[in-house]
């Protein structure tokens, strides 16, 4: 096979990133926007020694999983990968993705619980971070295309609430009418970098934050007038003057209203500032946290340690069921939010530590803190081995691991297994590991699992 060859290809599998896979001449061929069961006319665009990448020029025989694509920019935008197949088919792919990670990366024989699908597959996101660009004197606000920084301008993204798209359109018009400059990654000149929108449940309050390469936002009053008519309750700026792909800088300045939003999870109220992490699918977050609490099997005597606690969302939803909650987070604004959220909910048995997870865990161990349950909710890179070792040395009865990346979850669970902590089982032999689809139509999937030193099956969880 060589570049520009064309050939028929049957798609027999999917990658973790959502690309179809077929085989030709003993080589794996990866084709985007295809589905298992498709037969396509493939055009090779890259050929390496052991694999090739191709483009589907024609669907010769469509998969039974195919559905009509409902987004005009699906083939160009980097947001969704599964708008061309049914949601049931997507859930099967994600379940298999987690299963494959445990077996291939972790070397672990895990029988998962069924994936928890989302009731809403469209308009579910409560956050949008939209890059700003320009082309022929027109402002573009949208999403990066796959593996590039080319902005795809999408008038109505089906992942986010319709009001977010309306805000983006108002923002574009404001920028063009007032000749506000747009940031250029090459020259490091221009002002507008990103449009950052957050909304609460039913969008009762919406915060808009404009990320700028400067200190002030000209004509801010005109922007506020334009977007406040859409229900926006706060406008702020985030200052990011660094030559970086990191979206947010360290400084947020309120211009109108409040920079934070207020939302509720499992009867617990939270204030979330722009710099603080908050799950993007609120309804599925409640399902995820409910499973985590079930696995934690909390009692009034439980000492609960919540690592990577963010604004305290997981721990504070469980705080009233335990003796003491300790939260650890490296982002200082998030810790300040967590303390405020504890006070907001009249929770007095919680304390929060700002610091690196590994160092904080080591310090707690030195203090003689012996948590009964530890919750781990790390970023995509997972936990480092120093933290895993320290957590194991604290000897909790249970570790509830919440992961946004099956690969690093599997890797970390394999390390925990060498330290005596294995994924617990139900009496029927299946494991207490549940995929949760937090991000419909994208390739991402969340997983929550219970690790325990106990060899007996965990009948008390149910």
Q: Give me the active site residues, please.
A: 404
DSSP 191: S
Phi and psi angles of residue 96, each rounded to the nearest 5 degrees, phi first: -65, -35
Burial class of 380 by CB neighbour count within 10 A (0 to 12, 13 to 18, 19+): exposed
Asked if residues 174 and 219 have their Cβ atoms less than 8 Å apart, the reply is yes
Q: Which residues contact 342 (CB under 8 A, 6 or more apart)?
A: 312, 316, 319, 348, 350, 352
For 356, list phi and psi in degrees, rounded to 5: -60, 140
Up-side HSE of residue 135: CA atoms within 13 Å toward CB? 8
Return the sign of the alpha-carbon dihedral for residues 114, 119, 121, 127: negative
DSSP 417: H
**Whole-angstrom distance, CA of residue 67 vs CA of residue 87:** 9
Strand partners, 132: 141
Which residues are CB-neighbours of 374 under 8 A, at least 6 positions away? 304, 305, 306, 307, 391, 394, 396, 398, 399, 400
Q: Which long-range contacts (CB under 8 A, 24 or more apart) does 159-163 make?
A: 159/79, 159/80, 159/122, 159/123, 159/124, 159/125, 159/441, 159/442, 160/123, 160/125, 160/128, 160/197, 161/123, 161/125, 161/126, 161/199, 161/203, 162/123, 163/199, 163/203, 163/206, 163/230, 163/231
DSSP for 92-145, written as a single string: HHHHHHHHHIIIIIS-----PPPPB--S--SS--SEEEEEEEEETTEEEEEEEB
Tell me the three state secondary structure of residue 56: strand
For the chain, state the CA radius of gyration: 24
Rounded distance, CA 341 to CA 312, Å?
7
Any idea what the Cα angle at residue 100 is, between residues 96 and 106, rounded to 5°? 145
């Amino acid at each position: 096979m060589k570049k520009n060859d064309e050939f028929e290809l049957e798609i027999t599998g999917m990658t973790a990133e959502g690309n179809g896979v077929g085989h030709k001449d003993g080589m794996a061929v990866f084709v985007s926007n295809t589905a298992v069961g498709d037969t396509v006319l493939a055009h090779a665009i890259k050929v390496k020694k052991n694999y090739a990448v191709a483009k589907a020029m024609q669907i010769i025989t469509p998969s039974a999983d195919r559905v009509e694509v409902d987004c005009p920019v699906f083939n160009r935008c980097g947001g969704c990968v599964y708008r061309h197949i049914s949601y049931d088919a997507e859930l099967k792919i994600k379940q298999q993705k987690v299963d494959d990670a445990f077996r291939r990366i972790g070397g672990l024989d895990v029988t998962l619980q069924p994936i928890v699908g989302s009731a809403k597959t469209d308009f579910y996101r409560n956050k949008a971070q939209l890059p700003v660009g320009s082309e022929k004197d027109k402002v573009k606000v949208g999403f990066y295309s796959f593996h590039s920084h080319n902005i795809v301008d999408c008038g109505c993204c089906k992942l986010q609430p319709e009001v977010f798209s309306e805000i983006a359109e108002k923002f574009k018009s404001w920028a063009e009418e007032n000749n506000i400059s747009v940031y250029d990654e090459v020259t490091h000149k221009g002002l507008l970098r990103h449009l950052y929108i957050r909304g609460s449940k039913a969008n009762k309050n919406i915060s808009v934050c404009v990320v700028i390469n400067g200190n002030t936002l000209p004509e801010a009053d005109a922007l506020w007038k334009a977007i406040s008519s859409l229900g926006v309750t706060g406008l702020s700026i985030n200052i990011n003057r660094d030559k970086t792909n990191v979206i947010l800088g360290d400084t947020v300045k309120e211009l109108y209203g409040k920079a934070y939003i207020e939302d509720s999870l499992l009867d617990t109220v939270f204030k979330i500032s722009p710099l603080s992490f908050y799950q993007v699918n609120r309804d599925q977050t409640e399902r995820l946290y409910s499973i985590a609490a079930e696995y934690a099997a909390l009692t009034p005597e439980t000492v609960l340690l919540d690592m990577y606690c963010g604004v305290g969302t997981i721990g504070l939803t469980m705080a009233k069921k335990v003796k003491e909650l300790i939260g650890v987070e490296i982002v200082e604004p998030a810790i300040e939010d967590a303390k405020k959220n504890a006070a907001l909910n009249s929770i007095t048995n919680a304390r929060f530590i700002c610091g690196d997870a590994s160092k904080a865990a080591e310090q707690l161990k030195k203090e003689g803190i012996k948590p009964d349950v530890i919750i781990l909710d790390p970023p995509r890179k997972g936990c480092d081995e120093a933290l895993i070792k320290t957590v194991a040395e604290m000897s909790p009865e249970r570790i509830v691991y919440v992961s946004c990346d099956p690969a690093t979850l599997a890797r970390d669970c394999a390390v925990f297994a060498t330290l005596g902590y294995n994924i617990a089982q139900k009496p029927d032999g299946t494991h207490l590991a549940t995929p949760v689809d937090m991000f419909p139509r994208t390739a991402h999937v969340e997983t929550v699992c219970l690790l325990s030193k106990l060899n007996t099956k965990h009948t008390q969880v149910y």
